[in-house]
Amino acid sequence: METLQCPTRPAPKPLLNRTHEKSGDTGASAPTRLLILGGTREARDLAALVAGLPDVEAILSLAGRTSMPLETALPTRMGGFGGVSGLIQFLVDNRISRVIDATHPFASQISENARQACATLGLPLLVLSRPTWRREEGDLWIEAADNASAARALGEAPRRVFLTIGRLGVAAFRAAPQHCYLVRSIEPPEPAELPPHAEVVLARGPFALEEEIALLRARRIDVVVSKNSGGPLTYAKIAAARTLGLPVVMVAPPTGARARPLESLDAAVAFARGAAPA
């Protein structure tokens, strides 16, 4: 009898090697197969905490925006999944049982994708998100809803601007070509996206307050533009501007991002080990 040869998809290569124990068979509880969506200090800290746990098999996912990401203690995959459907496929192929979204507060697309994918598969999802910075006494903040508004908020008169919003948002400032920009980013922006009078400095935080004050003074900066990213790594520029009495145009996180639940690292570790989301 002839056997029909059906084309089959190649078996996915699991990124997590250990077999998934069945708790009923062994008496031991099954390890969590955890996906951490990263790209942040919080994700790296969490990776270090879960790496040694015997009851958690975890993988970290990075978008691949920086060519030399900092090392972490977990197996790491890089690059987009291919939207919600690609993420669902990844979760299924790797038999992921829990997801922690520890992405940046401005990374709203991947957070929404994770929400939809986990809802579709019925997987528990926890969001580990840092609080945004709060205005303190002495701060001269001009709030902006997005980069385009921030560019307008710089005004008509030419100013010396310290632009620290990451390389991907600089194109919005081509609409305000009268200013001189000192652009700081981890990776160089595309030259075509820079405003005409721009100098780029490449650096990765954390930054010290004294260094930030010295930089603002040396470059005779009039105004700082920053995303309200929260967290300690890049806060020194905000404190430096306060110290020097300089205004900060502060770009708010995307709409909806503020509604993200905030969880502590301890809560994230407990979730990784099987606790229900608080």
Among 83, 196, 206, 232, indicate the residue that binds ligand NAP (CB under 6 A).
83
Cα–Cα distance, 229 to 190 (Å, whole number): 22
Q: Which is nearer to ligand NAP, 32 or 228 (CB)?
A: 228
- 206: amino acid identity, one letter: P
| 104 contacts ligand NAP (rule: CB under 6 A) | yes
Question: Site residues for ligand NAP, window 25-64 (CB under 6 A)?
Answer: 37-40, 61-63
For ligand NAP, the binding residues in 215-274 under the rule CB under 6 A are 227
CA distance 106 to 93: 28
CA distance 228 to 259: 15
Structure tokens at 44: 């790296």
Q: Which of 116, 80, 79 is closest to 99 using CA atoms?
A: 116
Q: Is 183 in the site for ligand NAP (CB under 6 A)?
A: no
Between CA 261 and CA 108 the distance in angstroms is: 13
Nearest CB to ligand NAP, comparing residues 158 and 231: 231
Tell me the C-alpha distance between 71 and 74, whole Å.
9
Measured CA to CA, the distance from residue 64 to residue 39 in angstroms comes to 9
**In the chain, which residue ranges form alpha helices assigned H by DSSP?**
23-26, 41-51, 83-93, 108-121, 147-153, 209-218, 236-244, 265-272
Report the nearest approach of ligand NAP to the CB of residue 36 (Å).
8
What's the min distance (Å) between Cβ of 133 and ligand NAP? 14
Q: How far is the CB of 113 from ligand NAP (least distance, A)?
A: 6
Which residue number, 16 or 180, has a Cβ lying nearer to ligand NAP? 16
Min CB(15)–ligand NAP separation in Å: 13
262 within 8 A of 131, measured Cβ to Cβ: yes
Site string for ligand NAP, 111-150 (x = CB under 6 A): --x-------------------------------------
Residues in contact with ligand NAP by CB under 6 A are 37-40, 61-63, 65, 80-83, 86-87, 103-104, 106-110, 113, 166, 227
